Amino acid sequence: MPKLEVHAHQSQMSSSPASTPMLTQTISAVNWNQVYSFSIVATHGSIRKGAEILGLGPSSLSEQISQLEQTLEVKLFTRNGPKLILTEQGERLLIHAKSMFDQGLRFLDAVSPLIMENYPLSIGFVPGPHLPGAYSCIGDIQRQFGPLNMKLQHCTPDTFETSILKGQLDFGFSDRRSNRNDLISAQIALDPVRFYVSSDWQDHSLSQLLESLPLLVCRSEASTEAFVEQALRKVGIVPSSVVSSDFPSVLIDLCLSGLGVGVFVEDSLPDLRSSKVRRLRHPKDAPQIDSSLYAIWATAAENTAAISRLKSVLKINTRQREN
């Protein structure tokens, strides 16, 4: 087992000069195969099940767990009849072990021609008008390749690209194309943005409605809200108030309740195609507002299992890529 060198600032170690070699010796003494075996047993709560998965005998696996406990000088399990129960230290180790091995598989998937498919997919979303369309892509991946472990998270535009490049996200969805050469952006949707209101409001024009109802704007960045309002001002429409949110579902609910005029991607949600809402006529001279959705991933991750699945579901090819 190669040694893992640990470096610390001198100021942190000054009280105990010998602590760095001691720490290195402790880490070197850990058998990481035993840590992996522990994570399998802890996940399934059974030596017998863990032995089946790992292809080991139960006694051999039990010995591995005992040796790991001796090395770490902690108790990882207690027994309740045939069932194993994690101790507090065991729970902490499991959390970090799973994260470490997931990242290890993701690393191998990025650099090796071997297919590493067992790590959870980490997928990011920059909230915006097309968010429901991005969610439907996740459903398609599960239907075609599932069941899969996934970690889904919303991101700000500022952290989104950095998280992909650091390997914290396998890929993500945004309404803004990346300008970076080390990221690939594939446009997967381009749809007009329309104005909607509850069917309870009949025989009212857009300008009349906005005198008494707020404009409901879904945005991923501050400029989106300003762009919609600017388009309306060009035809002399000034909303009495504006409600903006990163999450379309909140605005859809307000719109369905008759509490606002929604600005949504056309046909992005089934509710917008129901009799509960009506689409308002777009102001004649107002500029058309379009919204895009991009799937984005790192160039270095092009051949990973995660991106292969994404491209298969979205039928992305080289000609569809923006960069």
- What is the rounded distance in angstroms from the CA atom of residue 150 to the CA atom of residue 121? 5
Cβ partners under 8 Å of residue 62, min gap 6 = 47
Q: Are residues 162 and 92 in the same domain?
A: no
Q: Are residues 44 and 77 in the same domain?
A: yes
The predicted-structure confidence for 50-91, as pLDDT tens digits, reads as follows 888 888 888 989 998 999 999 888 999 988 777 788 899 988
CATH code of 51's domain: 1.10.10.10
Domain end marker among 111, 141, 175: 111
Q: Are residues 70 and 96 in the same domain?
A: yes
Q: Which range of residues forms the domain containing residue 49?
A: 31-111
The predicted-structure confidence for 225-265, as pLDDT tens digits, reads as follows 667 877 888 888 888 899 988 777 888 899 999 999 988 88
Q: For residue 268, is it within any domain? A: yes
- What is the rounded distance in angstroms from the CA atom of residue 310 to the CA atom of residue 75? 42
Q: Are residues 200 and 87 in the same domain?
A: no
CATH code of 299's domain: 3.40.190.10
Q: Structural domain tally of the chain?
A: 3
Domain end marker among 84, 111, 138: 111
CA–CA distances in Å: residue 52 to residues 57, 85, 191: 8, 19, 51
Q: For residue 129, is it within any domain? A: yes
Domain end marker among 79, 111, 143: 111
